Amino acid sequence: MENANILKNLIDFYTGNAYTSNYIFGFTFAGMVYASTIKDADNMLPFIMKLDKASRGQGYALRFKPDKAQKALLLSNGAEPICSEQMFDDMVADSKYNRGEIFEKLVTEQMFGQEWTKDNVPYTDGGDVEECGVAYQIKFEKATFTNEKSMMIMKKTLDK
């Protein structure tokens, strides 16, 4: 029960401070890379997020690490294939960017027809892509949303 409370606290803190509640979640399934667009996802997050160990000294982390059932839920919400897993792995291997950044690039360019550039905009200040005034956060499997240490630091800043 304690872990359920930690998970809920991390999700509530994240969603309470996020610029947007619209997400595009990426994951692999059956040799393909999929993108699942979820608008107003705050109610969906408890069903697709996991509590995981963060790096040393960071406490627990809130991560998007979907299991088979969670991937099935995302697929049932209209996830669409982006490319083969092999093509994706080749793109990552041939790039200086990680899997999350390559997925963000694919979504930005293929789904939205926009030019992708790497940025470091905090989740509290903007989305990863914006279309027609709607901002989206883009997350690929194994993405960390936040951790306990970051949450505590941010809470102290907000309390001032």
CA 97 to chain centroid: 16
Beta 134-140 vs 23-29: how paired, if at all?
parallel
The domain spans of the chain are 2-152
Do 19 and 126 form a contact (C-beta atoms < 8 A)?
A: yes
Residue with tokens 């001032």: 160
Do 29 and 75 form a contact (C-beta atoms < 8 A)?
A: yes
Q: What order of strands is seen across the sheet that includes strand 143-147?
A: 50-53, 60-64, 143-147
Do 141 and 48 form a contact (C-beta atoms < 8 A)?
A: no
> 101-145: per-residue pLDDT in tens?
999 999 999 999 999 999 889 999 999 999 999 999 999 999 999
> 66-106: per-residue pLDDT in tens?
999 999 999 999 999 999 999 999 999 999 999 999 999 99
Half-sphere exposure of 127 (CA within 13 A, CB side): 19
Q: What is the pTM assigned to this prediction?
A: 0.92
For residue 92, count CB atoms less than 10 angstroms from its CB and return exposed for 0-12, middle for 13-18, buried for 19 or more.
middle
Whole-number pLDDT of residue 127: 95
At 144, list the tokens. Answer: 């960390």
